[in-house]
Structure 1
Amino acid sequence: MDIKRSLVLLFSSYGCFLFGQEKAIDTIYIFDSQMNKVKLFHPVKTITTEDAEKNSTNLSDLLRFQSQLYIKENGRGAVSSPSFRGTTAQQTAFVWNGININSMFLGQGDINNISLFGYDQIGIKAGGGSVIYGSGAIGGSIHLNNDLNFNKGFHGSLFSEAASFSTYNNFVKGSYSNDKFSFKASGNYSASENNYKVENEGKTYTNDNGQYYNTNFNIATAYKIAPHHQISWISEFFNGRQHYPVFFGDLETKTKYHTQNIRSLVSWDWNESKFSNSFKAAYTEENFQYFSNIDKPYTSGGTGKNYIVKNDFNYFVHPKWNINIIAEYQLNKGNGEGTSMVGDVHRNIGSVSGLLRYFTTKDLRFEAGIKKDFVEDISSPVLFSFSGKWNAVDWYHVGLDVSRNFKFSTFNDLYWGQGGNKDLKPETSYQFEWRNQFMAGDFKLSVIPYYMNIRDMIRWLPTLAGYYAAFNTAKVESYGLESQLGYEKKFGKHILKSNLGYSYTKSTDLSIKKQLMYVPYHKFTGSIDYQYDFVKVYVQGMFNGRTYTDSNETKGAALDPYFVMNAGAGFTFYKNYTLGFKVNNIFNTTYYTMLSYPLPQRNYSVNLNINF
Structure 2
Amino acid sequence: MKKLILFLLFTSTWLHGFSQFITDSIQVLDEVVLSDSKLIKYASGVKQTVLNDSVLKQNSKSLTTLLAFNSNLYFKENGYGMVSSPSFRGTNASQTAVIWNGININSQLNGQTDFNTISSSNFNSISIRSGGGSVQYGSGAIGGSIHLNNKLAFNTHFENTVEASYGSFNTKQTGFNSSFGTNLYSVNFGLFYVDSENDYKFLGTNKVNENGAFENLNMNVNLGYFISKKDVLKLYSQSYIGEREFSGTLVAPARSKYEDENYRNMLEWVRISGRFNSSLKVGHLQEQFKYFENKNTDNYSFGKVNTFLLNHSLNVELSETLQFKTIIDFNNYEGSGSSFGDPKRTAFSTTALLNHKPTEKLNYGINLRKDFTSGFESPFVFSLDAAYQVTDVYKIQINGSKNYRVPTFNDLYWNPGGNLDLVPESSYQVDFGQQFNYKHFNFKLNGYYIHTEDLIQWQPNSSGFWTPVNVSESQSYGAELELESYYKIKAHQLHLNAHYSYTVSENLETKKQLIYVPFHKGNVNLAYGYKKFNMYYQHLFNGEVSIIGSTLTGYNVGNVGLGYSLNEKGQVNYEINFKVNNLYNTYYENVALRPMPNRNYQIQTIIKF
* TM > 0.5 fold call: yes
Q: What SS is found at the alignment partner of 1:325?
A: strand
Q: For residue 154 of structure 1, what is the aligned residue in structure 2?
A: 158
Deviation at residue 349 of structure 1 after TM alignment: 0.3
- How do 1:438-457 residues align onto structure 2 when only pairs under 5 Å count? 438-457=436-455
Q: Deviations over 1:248-285 (max 9, x none)?
A: 89x95500100011000100001122110111001100
TM superposition outliers: structure 1 runs of 4+ over 4 Å: 19-23
Q: For residue 6 of structure 1, what is the aligned residue in structure 2?
A: none
Which residue, out of 391, 401, 421, partners 1:403? 401
Verify the 8 A CA contact 2:250 2:593 in the aligned structure 1: no
Structure 2 CA distance for partners of 1:395 and 1:334, relative to 1, 3 Å: same
Verify the 8 A CA contact 1:28 1:149 in the aligned structure 2: no
| Separation in 2, partners of 1:247, 1:491 | 50
| Separation in 1, partners of 2:157, 2:517 | 47
Q: For residue 14 of structure 1, what is the aligned residue in structure 2?
A: none
Q: How many residues align?
A: 583
Q: For residue 366 of structure 1, what is the aligned residue in structure 2?
A: 364
Stretch of structure 1 that moved more, 360-369 or 209-218: 360-369
Deviation at residue 204 of structure 1 after TM alignment: 3.2
Q: Deviations over 1:348-377 (max 9, x none)?
A: 100011011101233210111010010001
Q: What SS is found at the alignment partner of 2:183?
A: coil
- How do 1:332-343 residues align onto structure 2 when only pairs under 5 Å count? 332-337=333-338, 341-343=339-341
Deviation at residue 186 of structure 1 after TM alignment: 1.4
| Separation in 2, partners of 1:479, 1:584 | 32
- How do 1:583-602 residues align onto structure 2 when only pairs under 5 Å count? 583-602=580-599
Gaps of 5+ in 2: 1-22
Q: What SS is found at the alignment partner of 1:591?
A: coil
Q: What SS is found at the alignment partner of 2:295?
A: coil
Which residue, out of 123, 127, 142, partners 2:127? 123
Q: What SS is found at the alignment partner of 2:544?
A: coil
Deviation at residue 57 of structure 1 after TM alignment: 5.3
Q: For residue 563 of structure 2, what is the aligned residue in structure 1?
A: 570
Verify the 8 A CA contact 2:61 2:119 in the aligned structure 1: no
Residue 187 of structure 1 pairs with residue 191 of structure 2: yes
Verify the 8 A CA contact 2:128 2:146 in the aligned structure 1: yes
Deviation at residue 390 of structure 1 after TM alignment: 0.6
Structure 2 CA distance for partners of 1:457 and 1:248, relative to 1, 3 Å: closer
Q: CA RMSD in A?
A: 1.8
| Separation in 1, partners of 2:375, 2:78 | 35
Q: For residue 5 of structure 1, what is the aligned residue in structure 2?
A: none
Stretch of structure 1 that moved more, 381-390 or 354-363: 354-363
Structure 2 CA distance for partners of 1:332 and 1:587, relative to 1, 3 Å: same
| Separation in 2, partners of 1:443, 1:247 | 44
Q: Deviations over 1:86-142 (max 9, x none)?
A: 010010111111111111111111111223321112211121100011100001111
| Separation in 2, partners of 1:191, 1:217 | 15
| Separation in 2, partners of 1:481, 1:487 | 20
Q: For residue 104 of structure 1, what is the aligned residue in structure 2?
A: 108
Q: For residue 491 of structure 1, what is the aligned residue in structure 2?
A: 489
Q: For residue 582 of structure 1, what is the aligned residue in structure 2?
A: 579
Verify the 8 A CA contact 2:198 2:209 in the aligned structure 1: yes
Letter of the 1:579 counterpart: I
| Separation in 2, partners of 1:57, 1:129 | 26
Q: For residue 326 of structure 1, what is the aligned residue in structure 2?
A: 327
Q: What SS is found at the alignment partner of 1:412?
A: helix
Which residue, out of 213, 219, 224, partners 1:211? 213
Stretch of structure 1 that moved more, 106-115 or 429-438: 106-115
- How do 1:210-609 residues align onto structure 2 when only pairs under 5 Å count? 210-247=212-249, 252=253, 254-337=255-338, 341-550=339-548, 554=549, 557-575=550-568, 576-609=573-606
Letter of the 2:246 counterpart: Y
| Separation in 2, partners of 1:316, 1:187 | 38
Which residue, out of 570, 593, 611, partners 2:608? 611
**Greater relative contact order: 1 or 2 (C-alpha under 8 angstroms, separation 6 or more)?**
2
Verify the 8 A CA contact 1:198 1:601 in the aligned structure 2: yes
Verify the 8 A CA contact 2:580 2:601 in the aligned structure 1: yes
Letter of the 1:128 counterpart: G
Q: Deviations over 1:2-39 (max 9, x none)?
A: xxxxxxxxxxxxxxxxx999974549712323222255
Letter of the 1:161 counterpart: S
Residue 167 of structure 1 pairs with residue 175 of structure 2: no
| Separation in 1, partners of 2:484, 2:58 | 18
Verify the 8 A CA contact 1:27 1:150 in the aligned structure 2: no
| Separation in 1, partners of 2:35, 2:442 | 30
Q: Deviations over 1:563-590 (max 9, x none)?
A: 1111111111101111111111111111
| Separation in 2, partners of 1:196, 1:252 | 14
Structure 2 CA distance for partners of 1:176 and 1:538, relative to 1, 3 Å: same
Verify the 8 A CA contact 1:49 1:119 in the aligned structure 2: no
- How do 1:28-43 residues align onto structure 2 when only pairs under 5 Å count? 29-38=33-42, 40-43=44-47
Structure 2 CA distance for partners of 1:234 and 1:23, relative to 1, 3 Å: closer
Stretch of structure 1 that moved more, 439-448 or 130-139: 439-448
Q: Deviations over 1:512-565 (max 9, x none)?
A: 110000000001111111111111111110111111112xxx5xx311121111
Q: Deviations over 1:365-406 (max 9, x none)?
A: 011101001000101111000110111112311000100000
Structure 2 CA distance for partners of 1:21 and 1:411, relative to 1, 3 Å: closer
| Separation in 2, partners of 1:484, 1:335 | 43
Stretch of structure 1 that moved more, 173-182 or 432-441: 432-441
| Separation in 1, partners of 2:332, 2:28 | 37
Q: For residue 13 of structure 2, what is the aligned residue in structure 1?
A: none
Q: For residue 84 of structure 2, what is the aligned residue in structure 1?
A: 80
Deviation at residue 322 of structure 1 after TM alignment: 0.7
Deviation at residue 247 of structure 1 after TM alignment: 4.5
Q: For residue 132 of structure 1, what is the aligned residue in structure 2?
A: 136
Deviation at residue 466 of structure 1 after TM alignment: 1.8
Q: What SS is found at the alignment partner of 1:56?
A: coil
Deviation at residue 599 of structure 1 after TM alignment: 0.8
Gaps of 5+ in 1: 1-18
Structure with greater strand share of residues: 1
| Separation in 2, partners of 1:286, 1:208 | 28
Structure 2 CA distance for partners of 1:600 and 1:287, relative to 1, 3 Å: same
Verify the 8 A CA contact 1:356 1:369 in the aligned structure 2: yes
Deviation at residue 194 of structure 1 after TM alignment: 0.3
| Separation in 2, partners of 1:137, 1:538 | 33
Verify the 8 A CA contact 1:208 1:247 in the aligned structure 2: no
> Could you tell me the TM-score, scaled by structure 2's length?
0.93
Structure 2 CA distance for partners of 1:49 and 1:286, relative to 1, 3 Å: farther
Structure 2 CA distance for partners of 1:268 and 1:71, relative to 1, 3 Å: same
Which residue, out of 126, 143, 146, partners 2:147? 143
